[in-house]
Structures are given as structure tokens and as C-alpha cells.
Chain A
């Protein structure tokens, strides 16, 4: 029924099943694969149900057997313990494989260097910063096609979730910590993005466009943005923090280390970060390159005053 609805509907609107990047593509394959595995069991069960109910209904002159005492059959019961076990083993194997392959913080294989974009969810808008280009945008994000994008994500306020269905699945943005999500667009186009985790009054207004474009066009846009002479200042950021909605904006620059400051603001001694927020290479303070080993979930230093986090901050 679901499938029929899907096929009859205008498929291009079913964006999750119409991915434009490797991550979304793999997730789509996985969705189909797991659906098929499940259907292998449930279709026969549905047919069996219909047959049993029809055949054993009470009616005068019925010929089907009636065995009111028949309550146990070891062989049969072993069979139907085994069937779901087998399916779950198959599905579990696939799932585990994909779980490691699609771990969001795992870099996408490509000969091109990834572009880093730092994402901050605010009430009720998205701020995107390009640490390498030194520009920033609000409520839209431009990316070069065919280049891995390393999103680093945090939140200035409540927990949101950053989701661009056609590029791949979502990840939570949480204050006091930085998350990493690699995505890539394989073709130019404008893709829908949204906040997927409820953050209060105007949460529904937190949608944004992702514009994937050829490298030259992207470079051109970066140049224009830089030349626009519209910097995001510290005060500008304070303004942005005020709960409310806004349209799209482009900033020619932003305060160095702003992302790291937002991530570390709650850490013990976090305020001491101001002076050296501009870590070399725009790399987030809280996740050094070795973070891959830990799945790059960089809470520990940022969120809780763990010994390593604490001494790290004190050490500076």
C-alpha cells in the first residue's frame, strides 16, 4: 500500500528516496534493502492471516477441521522462532555494516579536500560559517558540488537537528558540544534543509536552502560575499541570538573563533577562551584531528568539566 502510494505520487517530491549525494544514496539503498527483508516475512504472514480467518470462520456446514484441544506443536513453534531470528540476523548484519560505513563523522572518500562549514542553530535561524573562506550566511548555505563538506555543528540554544534529506540523514545540534557530519552533493541543485528537532515557538520557520553549484560558481560567490562589505560583528551575533525569525543574510566576515566560543561557553574556564579562540586553521578547539577514534563526538572537553577538558583549558 505504501509502495503504491509512493509510486503513484509525484516521486520527485519524495525527497528521501531521491537523494543527490553518496550518503543519501547509501541510506536510500539501505531503506530499500531493509524494507525488502522485512517484506519477506510480513507478506506471507498477512496472507496467512487472511486465509486462516476465512477458512476457519464459523458457518453452517463448514468442512474445515475443528480441533479445540490442539494447543502445542514443538516443530511448528521451532519454525516460527527460527524465521524471525534468521531475518533479524540478516538485517542486523546489514545494519552493523552500514552503521560503521555511514558513521556521520567519517570523512567521505574523495580526492578533493573537504570544505568545512560551521553550523549553529539559534532561535529560530541557522548560522553557517565558512572558517576557511572567512564568510558567513544565515538561513541558506552554498556548497560546491562533488566536494565533501564537513559540517561542524553546535547550538546556541535548545537542541535542534540538522537535516538535508536529499544529501543524507540528520544529526543533532547541541549546545556546549561540536558534532561532525560529512555530506556531499553530487549534482548542482537547490536542496531543502530543515531543523528536525523541536526548539520552541517558531521552530517550523527554521528551514533553509542548500545550493550546490559548480566549483567556479562557488568560488565566484565566495569572492562576492567577501566583497559585500557586510561583516558579522560581535554585536551582530548578539542580535542574531535574540529569539526571533529572520530572512537570509550574507556576511563578508565573522569574528574569528566564534564557533569555538559558542561551543566552549559552558565549559569550566570557558571564558578564558576568548583570547585564543582563533585556533590555527579554524579547527574546532574541542575536536583535534585524533577525534576520529572516538567517533568525533566531542562532548567531553566541551560539555563537562572532565579532567582532560579542565586541564586543557587551564593549560592555556
Chain B
């Protein structure tokens, strides 16, 4: 009995036998001990629970999203560096084939689903309500639930690194490879449940922000007056609402195949793996637009702030954003032109894909003409934006090349493809979110990040990026396919691979600069007292930094675009500031522990499903249901902030000016 248990723990449960993994197991154990110790020593448990784990404040939820996503960027980045070391010198067998396969799979999943998505949600949470003059999102409780579902889903996925083994069938897990027969291990189940649980959270966030934008705008703010970032959030979230249900269903069917022996995607009994490939890309392609659209929104804000000029072609921009969001649903088959669906199908999807390039190109022109006749200053957010334009133009061009179906027969699955999607994901999504992070950081925390270190990070990222990925285009044309963990020296691929690895490490150094930048800026904290760090244009800059819980003491009355900029112009012209209406008590949602606890039960249930432990599944799901019931019957979910308290808070925040 005891021996059986020991056997199970050492052979199946814990991943054993690799020094790298052993190292991380020890590191994880030590960090947990350290965190528990620090929290206990400083008596911070209660603070953690009441101020953070139970919060429904969109700003705090946003901060938690950002912290989590930066940790995931670190993990995904280490994965990337490990792969690059292996590829620079495959002779050394730094990573065995099975480890390499696990690492590129977890790298892809983590970067897209647990890094890009939460960083995006973090920015949505922090910025959107402030920009549209709202006191919170439409459904604050649901918002907290979304975050904790993401958090516990990501935990479940990451735990597979030390327990049970990581998934190793690629970030989209095509069957039959991901089916029970060819992937009998639990890694694939961790994949399914980790993504599934966090995916439900993403869907809820999408719904939440659409409702927020449609229903919670400040009085007088028409849709066509919204800041461009708000439009991009709307476009992204509408896309989420239509795309994520497809993912949920697809993964659920894969789960049924694996768990109950269903035959949706198997080869026998009438199943069809091609169905999965279609379905997963019906989500997967919109997904890449889900993450890039908000970056477009961020660039629009930054460009007009730092060129000190109105955004050029507002209506074109809105139209472009919304049409991309619709068109993104009609291009999925460009991911498998080589599946032999025939010339008609390929021609159709080639054209739809190319059509998307049109609104995208228009946006670039509009950004350029926002700078044209502007007065450009080069603070870090603007640097990222300027670097983005050429990077994205080139990445977009290689994307158009890939959409030329018969040419894609030569690009597909090669390093050309890898270079392309990293160029748009790093040069577009990551640069965009960095721009946003630098831009809104002072709003969030009330101090600016050190510009000098930020510029070092900026240059290392940029140079590293080109050094890393430009050679990969060539490697693709040299016939190197993706997901190779080794290659023959005769192919002549090694020199470029070494260059590429050097570039990857330059980006690694860039990340260290950013960590240093944050640490340095906290240590030598210089409070940013005006609340308007960049001479901004939109409503979030009209309130103190960091904003009070209720954001706006009085809901702003809006007429037209760039309301804060216009107000400042009026005052500069010597006009009276807009009159203030009297304060009124503010209605706020109460904190709740249910989102955290309920998501934890999801984690328990998911873990149970992974191992097929009924004794764990049943209490897990029961816990979820009980949490729902408790929430349905609790009526004490809100409170009012009195006028006196608002006055006190405002005097404290504004008095500091």
C-alpha cells in the first residue's frame, strides 16, 4: 500500500529525473515557504485577504492581472531562452526531444493565453472605466470572478511542469496527436482544463466590458466621442464574445474524446480530426486580433498625446477597428492552406485574409498623419509606438506574403512563419502593451518609471528583436521547419541560429532592465502630483493618481472628444472651468471572497478531472455550486460612500497638489 503510493508519487505524480525540473521544484517550494514566512512575519494575511484577494475594485484587479502576466512573461521567456540555447547548439543535446516539445508547447500557450491576454485585461481594467468616466465596470463581482478563474486556470496549467508532466503537442494541440491514443499522459489534460477554466473567465470579461462600454459611459459621451482605446476594447471584446465559446466547445469535445472515449476527433468511429483543426482556428485566428486590437487603441492614444494633436481620421479608425473584428472570423483556413481543400477554398481564404490588410494599412496612415504637423516628444510610451510602426509594417507584409496561398505551401510550418508571428506578436502586441504600461503607470501608481532605464530596455528589446527574428525568415527559406529540436549541420542553419539566440538573450537583458527600472523607480520614488503626467487628453488624466476607489467624485459631463484637453484649453484661454455639480453619496459594490473561493474549487475540480479522481471532482464541483448559491442569496452586496467621506478623500488627494 505504502509502496504503491510511493511508486505513484515518484513515477506518475511528480515529474522526476531532470536536473532542470528538480531545480524548479526546489525553487517553487522555497518561494512558497518564503512567501508564507513573509506574510506571517509581517502579519499581512488579513491585509492580503481584505485588500486584494476579495477586492472588486477594477484598478486593483487590473494590478493583479499585470503582476500575474509579468510573472508569466518571465516563465515564457525562460522557456524561449532554453529553446534558443538548444537550437544554437543542437549537438550538445541541452534539451532532450521530449523536453523540447513540452517547452515549445507551454511557451506558446503561456505567452498567448497567460501573458498577452491577462496583460490586456489588466490594461482594460485599469484604463477603460477611467477613460469613459465610470466608477467601475458593469459587473464588478463578475470581473473579480474572471480574474480568479484566469489565475487558477493558469496555476493548473503551470503545475503540470512539476506534477504529472507538461503538455507536448503544440499550443493548439491538434488531434490525433493530442488524442488519448497518441498522448496518453496527463499533460494534455492539464492543457485542456487550464485553458478551459481561464477561458470561461476571458469570456466573462468580454461580456463585462461590452456592457460597460455600452451602459456606463459618462453623461454626454456619445459612442463617437469615446477615446480610441475604448473603441479598441469594444472591438476586442465583441470578438471575444463570439470566439471564446468556440474554444470552450472545442476543448470540451476534446475532453469528451479523452475522458469518455467519445469520437469527435478520433480517426475511428466516424470522428474527424480536421474538424478540430477548423474549430480551433475559428477561435485561434480571431484570438490574435483580440490581442492586437487593443494595442492599436493604445498606439492611437499615445500618438495623439505625444504629438500633441488630435487623432487623425477618427471615423476611419473606428471603421477599421470594427471591420477587422468582423473580418477576423472569415480567414481561419489560411492556417491550413496545405490541407488540400482545393483551389476554391484556398482562393477564398487567401482573399479574405488579404482584405484584412486594408483597414490595417489605413490605420498606419492615420497614425502617421496624427504625427504630421504635430509636435512630437520622445518619452518611453512614444518610443515604443514609433518602433512599432516599421516593425508592424514589415510583419504585416510577411503576413500578406503568407496569405498568398500557393506561396504559403513553401512558408507554412517553417521558420518564416515563426518569424512572422513573432514580429506581429512582439512588435505589435508586446510593444503595444509596453507602451500602454509606461503610459498609464503614473496614473496607476502615482509615480513615473525611470526614463533612462526605460530607454535602455527599449533599445535592448528592439535590437534584440531584429537580431533574433530577422535570421529566422531566412532560416525558413533555407527549409528549417518549426518545432525541430535538432538539425543536421550540413543544412547550413547553424550560424543564423546562433545569431538568433544572441538576439533572444538581448531581449532577456532588456527584461532585466525593466525589472531594474521598476525596482529603481520604487526605491527613489518621485511622486507624480498633478494626476496628469503627460499632459493628457482624456478623462483619466482629470483625476488624481492613483485614483480614489470611486474614481470620479462627480461624474464628468462630456461633450465631444478629448474632453480633458478641451477643458485645459478653455482654462488656458482664460475661461472659467466647467461648473461643478454638488457631491452626492456614491453607490459602490462590496468586496467578496466568493470569486476567489469559487475559482479555487474550479481548480480542485480541474485537478480531479486531470487525474480522474472522482473523490476530488465531486467536492470541487459541489464547491462551485455552493458558491453560486451563496452568491444568489446574498443581498448585502453594496454600500454608499457618504458626501463627507468623499470630501475628506478629495481634500487629501487634491490638497496635496
The prevalent SS among residues of A at the interface is mixed
Q: Is A139 an interface residue (CB 8 A)?
A: no
- B-contact 0/1 string along A275-316, CB 8 Å cutoff: 000000000000000000011110100011100000000000
A266 to B181, CA, bound (A): 14
Within B83-139, which residues are at the interface with A (CB < 8 Å)? Answer: 97-98, 101
Q: Is B588 an interface residue (CB 8 A)?
A: no
Also in contact, A5 and B373, with CB within 8 A (given A196-B414, A295-B342) = no
B180 nearest CB across to chain A (Å): 13
Within A82-131, which residues are at the interface with B (CB < 8 Å)? Answer: 83-85, 88, 91-92, 94-96, 98-105
Name B364's contact: one of A45, A85, A180, A297 (CB within 8 Å).
Answer: A45
Query: In the complex, what residues of B have CB within 8 A of residue A14's CB?
Result: 474, 477-478
- A-contact 0/1 string along B333-348, CB 8 Å cutoff: 0001011111110110
Name B389's contact: one of A49, A165, A175, A195 (CB within 8 Å).
Answer: A49
Interface size on A, residues (CB 8 A): 103
Within A16-33, which residues are at the interface with B (CB < 8 Å)? Answer: 16-17, 24, 26-27, 30-31
Closest to A243 in B: B182
The reply to whether A13 and B371 form a contact with Cβ atoms under 8 Å apart is no
Query: In the complex, what residues of A have CB within 8 A of residue B366's CB?
Result: 77, 80
Query: In the complex, what residues of B have CB within 8 A of residue A198's CB?
Result: 101, 169-170, 177, 482-483
Also in contact, A69 and B342, with CB within 8 A (given A34-B401, A96-B351) = no
The reply to whether A197 and B310 form a contact with Cβ atoms under 8 Å apart is no
Q: Is B354 an interface residue (CB 8 A)?
A: yes
Q: Is B288 an interface residue (CB 8 A)?
A: no
A51 to B336, CA, bound (A): 39
Q: Is B585 an interface residue (CB 8 A)?
A: no
Also in contact, A303 and B470, with CB within 8 A (given A38-B401, A196-B414) = no
The reply to whether A304 and B270 form a contact with Cβ atoms under 8 Å apart is yes
A-B contact count (CB 8 A): 283
Also in contact, A172 and B338, with CB within 8 A (given A58-B376, A96-B350, A163-B481) = yes
A123 nearest CB across to chain B (Å): 8
Also in contact, A200 and B182, with CB within 8 A (given A53-B386, A88-B357, A304-B272) = yes
Also in contact, A56 and B397, with CB within 8 A (given A27-B409, A71-B314) = no
Residue of B336, B355, B361, B414 most packed against chain A (CB within 10 A): B361
The reply to whether A99 and B492 form a contact with Cβ atoms under 8 Å apart is no
The reply to whether B410 and A31 form a contact with Cβ atoms under 8 Å apart is yes
- A-contact 0/1 string along B240-265, CB 8 Å cutoff: 00000000000000000000000000
The reply to whether A169 and B412 form a contact with Cβ atoms under 8 Å apart is yes
Within A57-84, which residues are at the interface with B (CB < 8 Å)? Answer: 57-58, 62, 64-73, 76-77, 80-81, 83-84
The reply to whether A72 and B491 form a contact with Cβ atoms under 8 Å apart is no
The reply to whether A46 and B390 form a contact with Cβ atoms under 8 Å apart is yes
Q: Is B374 an interface residue (CB 8 A)?
A: yes
A186 to B414, CA, bound (A): 24
Q: Is A227 an interface residue (CB 8 A)?
A: no
Q: How many of chain B's residues touch chain A, expressed as a range?
A: 35 or more
Name B409's contact: one of A6, A38, A159, A168 (CB within 8 Å).
Answer: A168
Q: Is A199 an interface residue (CB 8 A)?
A: yes
The reply to whether B350 and A92 form a contact with Cβ atoms under 8 Å apart is yes
Query: In the complex, what residues of A have CB within 8 A of residue B432's CB?
Result: none
The reply to whether A207 and B488 form a contact with Cβ atoms under 8 Å apart is yes
Q: Is A242 an interface residue (CB 8 A)?
A: no
A296 nearest CB across to chain B (Å): 8
Query: In the complex, what residues of A have CB within 8 A of residue B410's CB?
Result: 16, 24, 27, 31, 165, 168-170
A103 to B341, CA, bound (A): 10
B216 nearest CB across to chain A (Å): 26
Residue of B176, B274, B375, B410 most packed against chain A (CB within 10 A): B410
Residue of A15, A52, A91 most packed against chain B (CB within 10 A): A52
Also in contact, A70 and B373, with CB within 8 A (given A91-B400, A95-B404) = yes
Query: In the complex, what residues of B have CB within 8 A of residue A45's CB?
Result: 364-365, 368, 393
Within B550-603, which residues are at the interface with A (CB < 8 Å)? Answer: none
Query: In the complex, what residues of B have CB within 8 A of residue A34's CB?
Result: 400-401, 404, 407
Q: Is B316 an interface residue (CB 8 A)?
A: yes
A284 to B25, CA, bound (A): 53
A45 to B241, CA, bound (A): 34
Q: Is A174 an interface residue (CB 8 A)?
A: yes
A48 to B473, CA, bound (A): 25
The reply to whether B373 and A69 form a contact with Cβ atoms under 8 Å apart is no
Closest to B275 in A: A304
Also in contact, A201 and B97, with CB within 8 A (given A83-B361, A158-B176) = yes
Within B366-386, which residues are at the interface with A (CB < 8 Å)? Answer: 366, 368-369, 371-378, 386
The reply to whether B358 and A5 form a contact with Cβ atoms under 8 Å apart is no
A101 to B406, CA, bound (A): 9
The reply to whether A66 and B375 form a contact with Cβ atoms under 8 Å apart is yes
Closest to A57 in B: B376
Name B357's contact: one of A73, A84, A163, A299 (CB within 8 Å).
Answer: A84
Closest to A194 in B: B481
**A-B contact list, 7 entries, CB within 8 Å:** A16-B476, A35-B401, A68-B310, A99-B347, A102-B406, A169-B409, A197-B413
4 A-B pairs with the lowest CB-CB distances in the bound complex, closest first: A169-B409, A295-B342, A71-B310, A158-B177
A-to-B contact residues, CB < 8 Å = 1-2, 5-6, 9-10, 13-17, 24, 26-27, 30-31, 34-35, 38-39, 41-42, 45-46, 48-49, 52-53, 56-58, 62, 64-73, 76-77, 80-81, 83-85, 88, 91-92, 94-96, 98-105, 157-159, 161, 163, 165, 168-172, 174-176, 179-180, 192, 194-205, 207, 266, 268, 294-297, 299, 303-305
9 further contact pairs, Cβ within 8 A, besides A58-B376, A68-B374, A207-B488: A5-B474, A45-B365, A71-B309, A71-B314, A84-B361, A95-B347, A102-B409, A170-B409, A304-B270
